[in-house]
Every structure is written in structure tokens, then in C-alpha cells.
Chains A and B, each alone.
With several copies, the nearest count.
Chain A
Amino acid sequence: MVFPNSPTDHGPDGFEPAWAERARSLAERVVRPTAAGRDRAGRWDHALFAELAADRPGPGLAGPLVPRALGGTGLSAAQTCALLEGLGEGARDPGFALAVGAHSVLATVPIRAFGSAGQRERYLPRMASGEWLGSVSLHQTRGAAADPAVAARPAGDGSGGWVLGGDLDLVVGAPVAHHFLVVAGHHGGRTAFLVDATTPGLRIAEAGPEAMPTCSWGRLALDDCALPQEAVLGTVGGAPDEVEPLLAALDWVFTSAPWLGLLRALTRDALDGARDRRLFGRPLTHSQSARFALADLATQCELAAGLLYRAAAQFDAGRPSLADAAAVRLFVASAARAVTEGAARLAGPPSATGDRLIERTHRDALFFAETGGVDVLHPVIAASVLELG
């Protein structure tokens, strides 16, 4: 008889409800009141970010994954996921949550994982405090699936420095960021660089899609930007093994986390709204069909949560899985569409008032799905299933 020890190193889910709740109530108090207005104006509010960053001993949303020794909160990946989930639910602002995640996870973790001691000491404390905002382009968080947009060449002066050129779109928070994580292609491979906003030859323009306007989109134009050797993050030519898969997995997991919170908020709104709304002379909640739809929304949230926290727990166990991270993004993006549409159906034609959460999330869910992209996620998951690729 086979009678195995069950895995006891972690629970089956890794949920961190207490951290989610802390972030939720903070964001509800600080961020939510201005969400609709900032969305209309397409405005980034640095004071808000500073307030969330300064919330110590609270969640400290600027540096959850920065070790305490470097001034961060030193949380686990699962706890950070919970923070971002709570931020999404409380703030009801997909763009703002994207900017926080881009800074505190996408721009932070590669430095923690691959940075030299100098880079870690220079960047991480100031990022954890919220003084410096780090940024990435969402074109560079799915490996090199797209053709490379930035080219690098050795400076040729023997200094070990590099010269970068090219244009980079979809840069989260670009106009307000202190530095950017940029992957550039060159003869022999691809390398990650840390590019400060003040680098000569770098122009930063406000430009971006209509979705998630509160993250403050921008575009980088790199015109012969000379970077010192110290700007190289990780190994020269090492991006395909180092920064690229890490950035992809981080994006697919942690950028999905606020969406889980948004889906919970939409589901709760839909429940409340269905109680108030009347159709055919009775409350919508008396309709079996509406009841079924509400049950399905709640189900989507629970399913998404399981995948999300499994992937987060894999980071904490030191064994992140690219395929499981891709599954998170695939499922959450699909749930975001389903829940937004279900919530819209239950809400009925929009009124001129209200905070328009459904409209915002509907607009942003499409963008969220596009930037993940089933044409990238499917092959990554299939490669794992088939052991090919």
C-alpha cells in the first residue's frame, strides 16, 4: 500500500487574506475617492503613491519585495500578491494598480535577483521608500516575442559601456519614473540595462493607449544613449535566461493580482446592483438567470485566486514556473472579460452617475488581455505540456 506524506510545506492555496484586507482598506480610503476623476483626466498622482509607500508599519506598497536590510518590507511573494489584490479591490483603479505593480514588482525584482551589490544598494532602498519610481515597458514583459525595439552596441571606448538606440512604447509611468529597465538586442544576444531618466539622448514623451490612463503612460525614444558598464543588469547577453523569463513570470502573476481584487469588487457591486434593479416589475435577484450569472461571477473569482496564489507560492519556494504563471494570466484575463460582461449585464444600461467601475474595467480588461496575449501564453503553456518549444 502506497501512503505518501502529503505536501505540508505549504497549504494548498497560500492565500494571505490579512494582507489583502490591509491593502484594501488603505486603498479604499486613500485611492478610491479620486479614481474616477483621475481616470477621466488621465492623471498620475504621485502624492497618492507616496502615501501608500509611506504606510509603515502597514503594507508599504512601494517595497514589499525589497529585503528589510535594504529598506523594504521584506514580504513574501504571496503576501505581495495579496497586497496587490487588496489594492485592486480597494482602489478600483486598474491603471494605478498597474503602476504600483510595475514599480514594486516588475522594476524591483530583477534588480534584487540579478543586480550587483552596487545596483541593489543604489536602487532598492530609494525604490522601497517611494522616492524613485522604477518602470518597464509592457512590450518587454513577454520575452522577445515581439521583434526587438531597442538595439545596443558596445561603446567601443574600452570602458565596457554601451550605446542604446530605439523606441519603446507602453512604458508604465514613464513621465514620472526615475529609471527604466530596458532589454536591448545586440550582436550575440540580448542584455538588460538600467537606464536613468536623465540619461543624455533619452527623450520621454507622454503617449499611450486609452486604457489604464491613471498609470501615466509614456514612450521612450533612445537616441544614442550612452550607458556605463554599471548599467548592465545581470550578464551581458544573459537576458534570455535571466531578466526575460523572470519579467514575464512576474508580469503574468503580479499584474494579474490587482485584477483579482477588481473582479471581487465587480462581483460585490453586481450583487448589490441586482438587488436594487427591477425588471419586469420585480427585483432582478428574483430571476433565476440573473442568480445563475451571479453564481458564475463568484466562481470565476475563486478559480482565479487558486491559480494566482499557487504561482505566488512557487516564487516563495524558489521554483517559479513560467507555464503556471502563464496559466494565471490566461485564466485571469479570461475571467476579467467574463466578470466585467456579467457585471455589466446585471447592472443594465449605465446611468450617468456612479463611479463607472464597469466601464473602466471593461476598457482595461481588453488591454490587459492584449498585453498578456494568448498568442504568447498558449505556446508557453503548451511548451510545458508537450515538452517542446
Chain B
Amino acid sequence: MNGRHTTVTAFDFSGIAVRAAETDATARIPSQNWKDLVDSGYLRLFSPREIGGLGADPLTQTAAMEALARACPGTYWSATVSALLCVKLISAYADPRTHDRLIRPLLSGERLACFAVAETTAGSDSGTIRTTVRAAGPGGGFVIRGEKSRITNAPNADLAVVLARRERLAGDDGPAWCLAFVDLHQPGVSRYEIPRMGLRGMPWGGLVLDDAHIAPTDLVPVPIEELAETMAWGWLKNSFAAIGVAESALAAATRHALERVSFGRPLAHMEGVQAQLAQSRAQIDATRLLARRAACERAAGRSARDLIAMLKIYATEMAVEVAARAVQIHGATGVTHGHEVERLYRDAQMNVIGGFTSNRLREQAAEGLGLGPAVFRAFDWVAPAGLGHDPAGLDGFPRPAAAA
């Protein structure tokens, strides 16, 4: 059986799809989108019933993710960061007593969360993170200070899950990093938007935390190496974003090929165009099958982290390729602002960059293959190997007495 038809028809996000061009153009997710999302149950799919979710099986989850990503990648990103990634982070690490207070509003759609890792001068390397949490003093709790940048949902989230350094007092041997659950509606928080190439509907920007307050129970020290386990949900999110973008681009290219006649020949009848469509079809299918497998592995309680890393690399780069083919099949109309494939082409590259980049994930996949951790050596080894400078000419280096 051909699984893709199941996924496409299972969830109806057609209203969101109709508004996708507007969402991109205005850089705002329409409120009706949120209403549709709440009604669809999407926000609850990824969580078990115990915490207010629907406990959907993994194939339902993946079908829903793909359907939403196809409808509107910007809306997909915003909703999935909050309802999947942030909820997983909170439920994996939070104190059960505070659990409910933070998670329920995210599942109901009343509140929106962001996951704040990157900073203005730091990407996926936690070693360069400067945002720091320290004890608030006599009043109890903690305060956090620093700037997080290039964060999905930062401009309008209610809650931030922030990766920060922990100021440790003498005798504190706990992890050097922590997750802080920061209420963003407080005086110490300001935010800004960052305009960008694609996924323009998605809220994206920075958070400036100026001694923002954190409740005592909302700080969780975490071993940094463990965190990647949960962050892999984010890579899975990007992968389905990529699948959605690619599938939309292929559908648009197919429609155009069937409609367009050039030199008296309908594009769909041309082998060169057929080859492009066929390659896209095979690549998307391979990606989706791997993505579903990864989701099922996770649902079965296995990490699948390295598999998801490999998936994210391929899926996101594949979608760029498929979107570029769709642009080419469309020709000049495909780069006209507001055309669906123009938007998909811009969106596709965002999935490559968002979360860990391909190179960062290749590092991790390699480590997962048993190659050991990355070993750094300064690039100083070409010259000693005799390959550091240009050679002499056919007659050697200039000599006082040049030979015949």
C-alpha cells in the first residue's frame, strides 16, 4: 500500500493552506490558524494522555505533521516547536508538580512556548552560551540574564524554555547547564523580530533577558550531553517540515507541467521534466519512510537519535533540491514574489539551517557510528607534507646560471 495517500488525506488543514501565502506576505500567523489547530487536536497529538495529550500513535503524529507542513510551513514550525519540542523538553526534565501548570496551556493552545538555545554569537555549541542563571537572593528563585537570538516563537511566546549556564556555588557539583522555564510576561524580558529569507510567517527573533525571574521549581540542571536526546524531536520536526515543503513543491511542479505548453509540447510529456518529477518522487518517498521509521522508533522508547540526525540532513537538503527543481520547471513565474514555489524555495533552505545544521549533525551521526568524538587539530599539516607552497617551474627555482 502506498502510505503517502493516507497521510495527505488524514488531516484537513485546507483553511491554513489557503492562508499560507498571506501568512508569508504579512509575516503573521492568522488567528484563525490557531483556532483550526486547536480544533484539529494537532497540539495534543504528541503528548500522552496523562499530561493532557491524545497519545496518538506515531503514524498519526507523522501524518499530522506532514499535513500541517504541507499546508503552511510557518504555521507548522510555530505550532510544533511549542506543542512537540517544548512540551517534550518540559515533560522530560520538569518537576512533576510544576508540569501541569506549564504544559496544559501549551496543549490547549492558550499559550505558546519557544526553545531558546542560540545566542547572537553562539549556535549549536553550548560551550559558547553566555546566558546565565543565578540565585535570586533572599526572595528565592533565580534570575536569568543574557540574550537569545534566532529563536522560533521568541517574538510572541508566553513561555521560554531556555538553555543557560548555571552559576554554581562552592560545593555544587551538578551540571554546568540548566533548562529554565521563563515566563515571558514580566518586566525583565524584551524581544525583537528578525526578518529572514523564508518561513516568514513563523515568529522568529530574539529575547533579551535582563534578570528575568524564574520560579524555584522552574529551573532544571541538565547534563548537556543528555539534552541532544530531547532536541532530536526538533530535528524530526525539521524533517517533516522539509517533507511537506518538498511534497508541495512537487505537487506544484506536476500541476504546472500538466498545464504548460512550450514549443507546442506540454511540459508533462517531456522526458527531461519527467526525470525531474521522478527523482523528486523517489527522494521524497525515501525520506518519508525513514522519517516514519524514526518516529516509530521513538514511540517505542528507543533513542533513534543518530537515525534522526541522518534523516534531518537528508530531508532538509532534499527539499531544497526538490524546490529548486520546481522553480526551474516553472521558469520565471517561479521566482515571482508570492508564487507558491518561490515561497517554498525560500522556506526549504530554512529547514536546513534551523536546529542543528547539516554539518553539525553529520558530526553527530559520525560519532554515533563509533568513530569517537571529534578530534581537533589546527590546520597546520599541509606544509609539512610538502604541499604548502607552489612548486618550482620546469627548470627548477631560478638559479644563478640557468641551464640549457
Contacts and interface: CB of A to CB of B under 8 A. Distances in A.
Given A319-B390, A386-B258, A1 B293 contact: no
Contact of B293 (A13, A245, A386): A13
A91 to B, nearest CB: 24
Contacts of B257: 386
Contact of A294 (B60, B271, B278, B369): B369
Given A3-B41, A112-B394, A324-B285, A388 B379 contact: yes
Interface string B49-65: 00000101111100100
B324 interface: no
Given A298-B310, A320-B393, A386-B254, A69 B404 contact: yes
Contacts of B307: 302
A57 interface: no
Contacts of B278: 326-327, 330, 377-382, 385
Contacts of A327: 278, 281-282, 285-286
Interface stretch (B5-13, B115-123, B130-138, B191-199): B5-13
Contacts of B394: 65, 77, 109, 112-113, 315-316, 318
B395 A113 contact: yes
Given A3-B41, A246-B392, A327-B282, A280 B274 contact: no
Contacts of B387: 142-143, 145, 244-245, 248, 322, 376, 379-380, 383
Contacts of B58: 6, 12
Nearest to B251: A385
B3 A7 contact: yes
A298 B308 CA distance: 12
A322 B386 CA distance: 11
Nearest to B269: A388
Contact of A7 (B6, B282, B314, B385): B6
A298 B370 CA distance: 12
Interface string A44-85: 000000000000000000000101011000000100000000
Interface string A106-147: 000100111001001000000000000000000000111100
Contacts, number: 282
B139 interface: no
B313 A381 contact: no
Contacts of B39: 1
Q: How large is the interface on B (under 10, 10 to 19, 20 to 34, 35 or more residues)?
A: 35 or more
Q: Is the interface of B mostly helix, strand, loop or mixed?
A: helix
B277 A299 contact: no
Contacts of A266: none
A163 interface: no
Contact of A331 (B268, B282, B388): B282
A382 B277 contact: yes
Report, nearest first, the 9 A-B pairs whose CB atoms are least far apart. A244-B386, A306-B289, A382-B274, A143-B386, A291-B366, A381-B278, A289-B271, A389-B382, A6-B59
Interface of B: 1-3, 6, 10-12, 39-41, 54, 56-60, 63, 250, 254, 257-258, 268-275, 277-279, 281-283, 285-287, 289-290, 292-293, 295-296, 307, 309-311, 313-314, 359, 361-363, 365-366, 369-372, 374-375, 377, 379-397, 403-404
